[in-house]
Amino acid sequence: MNNGRVVITGIGAVSPLGLDVQSTWDALISGKSGVGPITAFDTESFETKIAAQVKDFDGTDYFERKQARHMDRYTQFAAVASRQAVEQARLTFEEPEEIGVVIGSGIGGLSTLSLQFDVLAQRGPRKISPFLVPMMITDGAPGQISIMLGARGPNYCVTSACSSGADALGAAYEMVRRGDANAVVAGGTEASITPIGIAGFNAAGALSVRNEEPEKASRPFDAERDGFVMGEGAAILVLESLSYAQRRGANILAELASYGATSDAFHITQPSEGGEGGARALKLALKKAGLEPEVIDYINAHGTSTPLNDRSETLAIKSVFNEAAYKIPISSTKSMMGHLIGAAGAIEAIICVMAIKHGIVPPTINLTDDDPDCDLDYVANVARPVKVRAAVSNSFGFGGHNSVLVVREYQEDH
């Protein structure tokens, strides 16, 4: 049995700003953008020609060539980030049945699926790779990570669009609280910067087309925002019961205090009117954490840079925090990393951990033109020193998903 508290002991990341947590964090605090022209394919006929790609990543630098060939890019990202997190946590697998793996991905192996469609069209069904299905499916990543680590506890994928990473952490949090695992390697991963991925989001009218100024394209809460910028990468955390972490003498980075999730039941892509669904998720997460709104020191916003999301999220925050909403530093790190879809909630949870650890919050860059509907403190353009004891991370997704995590400073007597 555990004591109901869940702590974070390891973090790992592969992002458009760096191939580990520290380089990513340093770039965020510096206000550096990871957005640029797409180099993965020819964008001449595409409306959007920019994205936040992971740079200088080659799977064969981390895995044997044959193994790398049998892992989609989204799985490779997750596996590398998992190794980083497990190494930092100094997590051993002497009791492998007590360690689980829960990874979120909204789309899965889209690059593999796209390539194999070309094979089918050009060479016929007999030439399709036997590895198509295990490389394509969203639970290919947690399956590969479970095998790589030897983790034999619960192992599955969570898919809830842009909430996938947050929901994976939420599922892992509840798993540890129930006593179904002592520790869980959890987070999110995505690699959907492909022709069909960009074309699909363009068709939905979701992406920025500010192609001439890539670094200024993602501008959450700004009056001139015109859509989000696609990102890619992975973020993984090691979650443990407090009793297990203490028993093994782990270094505790922070505490995952609660998780709240709701559904809009409103529209497949648009948020509910007035941010009602997001507000309910925020209230639920705060209630489960036993925290009053006034004690939250930082909010990492979903902040996609779409007209509807940013306005709706602002309304949700105001309805929950009331006058305190104007005093809380809020930032959207998507302004620098783009939108990592299924990995977004996980990388933003890690940012909350780092803000607690370092006493500084990253900025929302490209915030230069005030939108009267978005009038809160979004930490415009420059990072800010802030004593962060409790932070909230918002994630909202197509399908009406609203997921909120509360991360707080670890103290023995909480």
Over residues 278-326, the pLDDT tens digits come to 999 999 999 999 999 999 999 999 999 999 999 999 999 999 999 999 9
Domain count, the chain: 2
* 337 falls within a domain: yes
**Cα angle at 377 between 338 and 353, to 5 degrees?**
60
Q: Which residues are catalytic?
A: 162, 302, 339
Residue 1 is predicted with a pLDDT of 41
Q: Residue range 114-138: average pLDDT?
A: 96
Q: Are residues 129 and 236 in the same domain?
A: yes
Q: Residue range 325-352: average pLDDT?
A: 98
Q: Read off the pLDDT band of 222 (50, 70, 90).
A: very high
Q: Are residues 190 and 61 in the same domain?
A: yes
Task: Among 216, 247, 278, identify where a domain stops.
Answer: 247
Phi, psi of 394 (to 5 degrees): -95, 140
Q: Residue range 156-176: average pLDDT?
A: 98
CB 14 within 8 A of CB 181: no
Q: How far apart are CA 149 and CA 86, in angstroms?
A: 9
Q: How far apart are CA 46 and CA 130, in angstroms?
A: 31
Cβ neighbours of residue 293 under 8 Å, at least 6 residues apart? 286, 320, 321, 322, 324
Q: Are residues 87 and 108 in the same domain?
A: yes
Q: Residue range 40-54: average pLDDT?
A: 98
Q: Are residues 131 and 266 in the same domain?
A: no
Q: What percent of the chain has pLDDT over 70?
A: 99
Residue 414 is predicted with a pLDDT of 67
3-class SS string, 244-276: HHHHCCCCCCEEEEEEEEEECCCCCCCCCHHHH
Domain housing 233? 7-247
Q: Are residues 231 and 315 in the same domain?
A: no
* 86 falls within a domain: yes
CB 282 within 8 A of CB 276: no
Task: Among 210, 226, 247, identify where a domain stops.
Answer: 247
Q: Are residues 388 and 300 in the same domain?
A: yes
Residue 412 is predicted with a pLDDT of 86
Q: Which of 346, 412, 359, 345 is nearest to 389 (CA)?
A: 359
Q: How far apart are CA 11 and CA 25, in angstroms?
A: 12
Q: Are residues 99 and 187 in the same domain?
A: yes
Task: Among 214, 247, 280, identify where a domain stops.
Answer: 247
Phi, psi of 203 (to 5 degrees): -60, -30
* 408 falls within a domain: no
* 2 falls within a domain: no
* 1 falls within a domain: no
Q: Which of 154, 223, 160, 191 is nearest to 51 (CA)?
A: 191
Q: Are residues 241 and 263 in the same domain?
A: no
Q: How far apart are CA 54 and CA 93, in angstroms?
A: 30
Q: What percent of the chain has pLDDT over 90?
A: 95
Cα distances (angstroms) measured from residue 22 to each of 11, 167, 305, 341, 358: 10, 24, 25, 21, 12
Cα distances (angstroms) measured from residue 399 to each of 52, 125, 159, 406: 24, 33, 11, 22
Q: Residue range 379-396: average pLDDT?
A: 98
For 233-281, how does the pLDDT look when each residue is reduced to its tens digit (9 = 90+)? 999 999 999 999 999 999 999 999 999 999 998 998 888 888 999 999 9
Q: Are residues 267 and 129 in the same domain?
A: no
| 3: pLDDT strictly greater than 80 | no
CATH number at residue 234: 3.40.47.10
Q: Are residues 331 and 267 in the same domain?
A: yes
Query: Does pTM top 0.95 for this prediction?
Result: yes
Residue 274 is predicted with a pLDDT of 87
* 119 falls within a domain: yes
**Tokens standing for 230?**
């696609």
Q: Are residues 173 and 202 in the same domain?
A: yes
* 253 falls within a domain: no
Q: What is the mean pLDDT of the chain?
A: 96
* 407 falls within a domain: no
Q: Are residues 306 and 225 in the same domain?
A: no
Cβ neighbours of residue 246 under 8 Å, at least 6 residues apart? none
